[in-house]
Amino acid sequence: MRKTIITLFVLLATGSVWAGPREMFISRCGSCHQRGGATEPVNPGDKAAIVWEKYFKRKRHPTSLKELSEDEMQLIIQYLCDHAADSDKPESAAIPK
């Protein structure tokens, strides 16, 4: 128990707490994909889940995503697919347009 508390404290103090898919999408993609950003806003509900999957599988993103780890990329794709236009919970305003 004490080890768990210490580990949690260290993670909180260093900012290494795992972010959920939505937070990962907003923090890692939102800097460019927002109003006034380098490119147009993108939201999960813009496309169907299969389109999101194919988009990244075929490496269609116009800029390099090398700064994202494989885990971060998977969280982002998971979020996009979970809230895509054809999902049970489409989301069209994750990043303000």
Answer whether 61's CB lies under 8 Å from 24's CB.
no
Say yes or no to pLDDT of 10 above 50.
Answer: no
For residue 10, tell me if it sits in a domain: no
Total domains in the chain come to 1
DSSP-assigned letter for residue 84 = S
Please tell me the distance from the alpha carbon of residue 28 to that of residue 32, in angstroms, as a whole number: 9
What percent of the chain is modeled with pLDDT above 70? 78
Please tell me the distance from the alpha carbon of residue 14 to that of residue 35, in angstroms, as a whole number: 30
Domain boundaries, position 69 = 19-97
For residue 50, tell me if it sits in a domain: yes
For residue 90, tell me if it sits in a domain: yes
Digit-coded pLDDT (tens) for 34-43: 878 888 888 9
Say yes or no to pLDDT of 78 above 50.
Answer: yes
Burial of 29 per CB tally in 10 Å (0-12, 13-18, 19+): buried
